[in-house]
């Protein structure tokens, strides 16, 4: 019999050259797979970072755009009713308003008819005209002026002010502001009832409110009987 020169590796013995080569090839393959996985993980992380960066850029753009839109409103509209007592501030507001009334507001026939001759004596009328002037400036002069804003000024804002001025002082005149006929700053009715109402509302609102006192009833009757006081229009 011919002897077989290929001997199997005894259990626990050393592997032969072929088996070593196979193991080395398998290890090399695993190494390539691990490296590929590491590269893939790096790419995933980079994509996530890019997505987050894009989100931040988008938010920053929106914030910048919003800030740009708010910029024209950085200076608030002055309120005549709570204007600081500095004479220069009040004079500047009225001078600007006087020019704007002649250039714009009184060009409309209904506005000219409805503006009483004593309009300067009515703080509520001045208040309405001041904010309407600023609304006109925003619609026609601001950087973000638009046709839509101008349309809203014509269609809704201006007619509303004209209507309210007519309600406030449509039947008034300079004569009614002479001494003895003019009224001063309005008084808050029954202001002394504030504490009693607060206590009732916070502690006993499920019960009827406190009864008006005799002094409050007398004050209310006197207020409605003041000569020259304008009564609200009836509709």
According to the 3-state scheme, what is the secondary structure of 89-150? HHHHHHHHHHHHHHHCHHHCHHHHHHCCCCHHHCHHHHHHHHHHHHHHHHHHCCCCCCHHHH
- pLDDT, tens only, 77-117: 999 999 988 899 999 999 999 999 999 999 999 999 999 99
Backbone angle region of 12, left / alpha / beta, with phi > 0 → left and psi within -120 to 50 → alpha: left
- Give yes or no: residues 169 and 114 share one domain: yes
- Residue range of the domain that includes 119: 80-177
**Is this model's pTM higher than 0.85 or not?**
no
Other CB atoms closer than 10 Å to residue 104's CB: what's the count?
17
- Give yes or no: residues 86 and 173 share one domain: yes
Rounded Cα distance between 129 and 173, Å, is 18
- Give yes or no: residues 91 and 149 share one domain: yes
Give the length of the chain: 235
CA 152 to chain centroid, in Å, comes to 18
Number of structural domains the chain divides into: 2
Q: List the structure tokens of 116.
A: 């009483």
**What per-residue confidence (pLDDT) applies to 47?**
66
Give 115's contacts (C-beta < 8 A, 6+ positions apart). 101, 105, 106, 125, 165
- Give yes or no: residues 148 and 166 share one domain: yes
Q: Of 37, 55, 72, which residue is a domain's last? A: 72
- Give yes or no: residues 68 and 84 share one domain: no
165 vs 230, which has greater pLDDT? 165
Residue 11 lies in a domain: no
101 vs 28, which has greater pLDDT? 101
Rounded Cα distance between 136 and 142, Å, is 9
Please tell me what DSSP assigns to residue 192.
G
Rounded Cα distance between 225 and 222, Å, is 5
Residue 185 lies in a domain: no
- Closest C-alpha among 9, 4, 146, 5 to residue 69: 146
């Amino acid at each position: 019999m011919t002897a077989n020169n290929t001997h199997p590796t005894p259990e626990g013995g050393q592997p032969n050259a072929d088996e070593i080569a196979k193991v080395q090839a398998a290890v090399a393959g695993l190494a390539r797979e691990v490296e590929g996985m590491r590269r893939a993980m790096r790419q995933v992380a980079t994509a996530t970072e890019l997505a987050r960066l894009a989100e931040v850029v988008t938010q920053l753009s929106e914030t910048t755009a919003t800030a740009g839109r708010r910029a024209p409103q950085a200076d608030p509209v002055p309120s005549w009713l709570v204007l600081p007592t500095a004479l220069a501030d009040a004079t500047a507001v009225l001078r600007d308003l006087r020019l704007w009334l002649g250039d714009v507001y009184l060009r409309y026939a209904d506005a000219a008819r409805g503006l009483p001759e004593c309009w300067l004596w009515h703080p509520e009328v001045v208040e309405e005209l001041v904010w309407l002037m600023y609304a006109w400036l925003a619609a026609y002069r601001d950087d973000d002026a638009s046709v839509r804003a101008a349309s809203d000024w014509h269609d809704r804002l201006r007619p509303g002010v004209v209507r309210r001025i007519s309600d406030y002082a449509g039947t008034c005149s300079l004569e009614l502001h002479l001494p003895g006929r003019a009224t001063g700053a309005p008084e808050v009715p029954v202001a002394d009832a504030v504490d009693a109402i607060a206590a009732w509302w916070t502690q006993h609102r499920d019960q009827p409110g406190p009864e008006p006192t005799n002094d409050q009833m007398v004050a209310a009757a006197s207020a409605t009987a003041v000569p020259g006081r304008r009564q609200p229009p009836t509709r």
